[in-house]
């Protein structure tokens, strides 16, 4: 049975649900988890448990709900922060790739995550993320384009690989 969620898309303010016609678009894979990890936290600076209660929190609301004390599981948007603060050169590309890997490191408990970052134009960065769930050989590739001038993120491709999980039906992609 596939997990279905409301598809979240980047809108410049932390993401919103996306409509498909007169209905809400559905997400069937890793899209929301990856998006929230890279762009759903506190892009100004990493959230810590030491924040005074009188100070407004700008991080993802789920940080305190899902894992109240384990900061390693919090979404902090190091990727978004890095994209907004580094020069797009070879060193910046490496820093962005490391930020993506750090943001997605929590997934290493249940999937193999491979990240590749390329500068594909003036102020444009392509982030390719390959996720392989080893216990059932299901793979997904997510390709994002960051436009530094516009300050927006676009999901270019969301390719689900072969479906070899327990239901073994014929809904696989070749």
In this prediction, residue 114 carries a pLDDT of: 96
Rounded mean pLDDT of the chain?
A: 77
Residues facing 143 on adjacent strands: 128, 157
Domain presence at residue 19: yes
**Calpha distance 38→99 (Å, rounded):** 8
End-to-end CA gap in the chain: 20
In this prediction, residue 168 carries a pLDDT of: 41
Contact 108, 83 (CB under 8 A): no
Domain presence at residue 170: no
Domain presence at residue 165: no
112-121 vs 124-133, strand pairing mode: antiparallel
In this prediction, residue 15 carries a pLDDT of: 67
Overall number of domains in the chain: 1
In this prediction, residue 77 carries a pLDDT of: 84
In this prediction, residue 9 carries a pLDDT of: 67
| Greater model confidence, 16 or 91 | 91
The whole-number average pLDDT for the span 19-41 is 77
Q: What is the 3-state secondary structure (H, E, C) of the chain?
A: CCCCEECEECCCCCCEECEECCEECEECCCHHHHHHHHHCCCCCCCCCCCCCCCCCCCCCCHHHHHCCCCHHHCCCCHHHHHHHHCCCCHHHHHHHHHHHHHHCHHHHHCCEEEEEEEEEECCEEEEEEEEEECCCCEEEEEEEEEECCCCEEEEEEEEECCCCCCCCCCCCCC
| Greater model confidence, 48 or 119 | 119
28 lies in which domain range? 5-47+55-160
Domain presence at residue 174: no
Model confidence over 41-92: pLDDT tens digits?
777 666 666 777 777 766 666 767 766 666 766 777 889 889 999 999 999 9
Domain presence at residue 168: no
Domain presence at residue 117: yes
* Listed ranges 45-54, 72-81, 95-104, 164-173; the one with the highest mean pLDDT: 95-104
Domain presence at residue 116: yes
Q: Which residues contact 92 (CB under 8 A, 6 or more apart)?
A: 86, 119
pLDDT category of residue 146 using cuts at 50, 70 and 90: very high
Domain presence at residue 119: yes
**Taking the CB of residue 51, how many other CB atoms lie within 10 A of it?**
14
- The CATH number that applies at residue 145 is 3.10.450
Q: What is the percentage of the chain residues whose pLDDT exceeds 70? A: 65
| Greater model confidence, 131 or 19 | 131
């Amino acid at each position: 049975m596939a997990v279905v969620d409301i598809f979240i898309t980047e809108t410049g303010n932390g993401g919103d649900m996306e409509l498909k016609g007169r209905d809400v678009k559905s997400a069937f894979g890793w899209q929301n988890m990856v998006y929230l990890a890279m762009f759903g936290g506190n892009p100004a600076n990493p959230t810590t448990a030491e924040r005074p209660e009188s100070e407004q929190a700008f991080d993802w609301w789920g940080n305190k709900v899902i894992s109240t004390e384990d900061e390693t599981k919090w979404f902090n948007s190091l990727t978004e922060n890095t994209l907004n603060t580094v020069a797009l050169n070879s060193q910046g590309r490496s820093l962005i790739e490391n930020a993506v890997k750090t943001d997605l490191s929590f997934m290493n408990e249940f999937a193999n995550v491979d990240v590749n970052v390329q500068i594909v134009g003036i102020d444009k960065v392509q982030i390719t993320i390959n996720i392989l769930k080893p216990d059932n050989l299901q793979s997904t590739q997510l390709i994002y384009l960051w436009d530094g001038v516009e300050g927006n993120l676009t999901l270019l491709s969301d390719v689900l690989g072969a479906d070899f999980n327990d239901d073994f039906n014929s809904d696989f992609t070749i």
